[in-house]
Amino acid sequence: MNKAKIIQATIWSAVEIFLRNGVSFLVIVLLMRMIEPEAFGIVAMLAIFVSVASLFVDGGLSKALIQRQTVSHTDESSVFFLNLLLGFIVALLFCFAAPWIAAFYHQPVLIEITYAMSLGLFINAFSSVHIALLSKNLDFKLIAKVGTAASAISGVIAIAAAYKGLGVWSLVLQSLSSSLLTAVMLWILHPWRPGWVFSLQSIRSFWGFSSYLMLSGFLYRIYDNVFVMMIGYAHSGSQVGFYNQARKFQELPVRSFTGIISRIAFPVFSSFNHDKDILVKGLKKALALAVFMSVPLTIVLLLLSDAIILTLVGEKWLPSSPVLQMLSLATLLAPVQMLNINMLKALGRADLNFWIMAGKLILSIVCLWFVLPYGIVVIAITYTLLAFINVFINAHYTKRFLDYGVWKQLKDILPYVLAGVPMALIIIGIKAMFHLPVQMELLVAVSIGGLGYLLICWYAKLEAFEALLKIASKDKKREI
């Protein structure tokens, strides 16, 4: 895998993620202005069930196609047909579970919504192998086109439905149309087709890796959604909406940055999993780049949360502002968690990833049990504290296999954190000295603070910043 291909894949991955997430963010903002918080809360209550169910549709087999360096068309076709079968079975079980899910949350409307979302699970099975093969080959150009188009069209459908007063069903239609459009466009634009063959031997050969990947993914998706699920059980739908949308505001940008790097890191790390020196070097560069981007984002979310909420979605969402502040601190170390897990998967140790997730999930449930009655702000603080603890848990095996543990990693990212201090001071100073309207405060603080951060990175000659400048200068020369 040559360097030029990796750089090109990174650029197209960035284009796809920023375009798709940019469109998604714009749609979310418009829908939040049109729909009440409770509607978002009702859909969020289903998140844990949809997320877990979608995992069983794939069973980790698509990730196994990426991890294994050589696969046959029989392997690919076998995974595809098994995914279809699992998609049908899981969708059917999801429909049977609808009354129990609605009873758990005391929300009868969830029965019909669950039926609708089960259809999306089956539709997603048609595109899983296409996406896996494109990712394996670092062909993110097509993914960029499909993802952006699907997000834009489904967003228009949702906004039109919200305008017609469909409320929560606008969000359901957005999800279903996005899944359908993605599958249809991939089948039209990508040449891969399954052969009429199914091999149990192929499935068995993937099972050792994919089974642990599926189990660890199962635990991760419960961990990722258990806070929302328990808030929905103990509090009102509007409280779920405030917490979940604050989390989306925090996660959407950071997942854009980390998603670019993670999407490249897994196949690249997998292709070099025989050379530990290259892996450590690659992990250092990926960490530096991810933290370089997450530091200013953390500062903006922490110090300007009120201005962000008021400017983008209005006063009715202001109760989500303190939640966003608390969750913003988890943004800083999200890349460290993500890259260490990707490294473990690339090394073929999905079994260890499973045990890490099991420990993290148990710890989260125990902590959540004690803080649940105290409201969504305390829950957000707990989530952030757990994120810091999880950095040490995730990096344990990186130290064991590559001798690059958490303290070495934190030492490497410290310069980027220190570079963010002047940015924070600039924003605090602007807020204290000038009493600007919130929209103007947001624009001025982000612009001047962000410029200060970039100047510090340039003056300190930080590696990630210089690497991005080199990539930009090369692209400019190509255009000329």
- Average pLDDT over all residues of the chain: 83
In angstroms, rounded to a whole number, what is the distance separating the alpha carbons of residues 38 and 311?
Answer: 20
Q: What is the pLDDT of residue 8?
A: 61
> How many other C-beta atoms lie within 10 A of the C-beta of residue 251?
17
Residues with Cβ within 8 Å of residue 229, at least 6 apart in sequence = 45, 47, 48
Please report the pLDDT score of residue 279 as a whole number: 76
- Residue 263, pLDDT > 80, answer no
> What is the percent of the chain with per-residue pLDDT over 70, rounded to a whole number?
84
Q: According to DSSP H, which parts of 195-236 are helical?
A: 200-234
Which pLDDT score is estimated for 424? 94
Query: pLDDT at position 480, please?
Result: 43
What span, in angstroms and rounded, lies between the C-alpha atoms of 157 and 197?
38
For 381-427, how does the pLDDT look when each residue is reduced to its tens digit (9 = 90+)? 999 999 888 888 888 888 888 888 888 888 888 999 999 999 999 99
Q: What is the dihedral of CA 201, 203, 209, 210, to 10 degrees?
A: -170
Q: Which pLDDT score is estimated for 378? A: 93
pLDDT of residue 259: 63
Determine the Cα–Cα distance for residues 314 and 304; give it in Å rounded to an integer. 14
**C-alpha of 93 from chain center:** 26
Residue 275 has pLDDT above 80, yes or no: no
- 3-state secondary structure (DSSP) of residue 46: coil
Q: Across residues 203-226, what is the average pLDDT?
A: 73
pLDDT at position 7, please? 59
- Which two three-digit tokens encode residue 375? 């409201």
Q: What is the pLDDT of residues 313-340, one digit of tens each?
A: 888 999 999 999 999 888 787 778 878 8
CA distance 62 to 68: 10
pLDDT on residue 479: 46
Residue 56: closest CA among 76, 86, 96, 85: 86
Q: Which of 82-91, 134-143, 369-378 has the lowest mean pLDDT?
A: 134-143
Nearest 5°: phi and psi at 274?
Answer: -90, -10
pLDDT computed for residue 322 by the predictor: 93
- Residue whose C-alpha is closest to residue 121's, from 96, 77, 171, 86: 86
- Domain chopping of the chain, boundaries: 1-234, 243-480
**Predicted structure pTM score:** 0.77
List b or e across 434-451, with b for residues whose CB sees 16 or more CB atoms inside 10 angstroms.
Answer: eeeeeeebbebbbeebbe
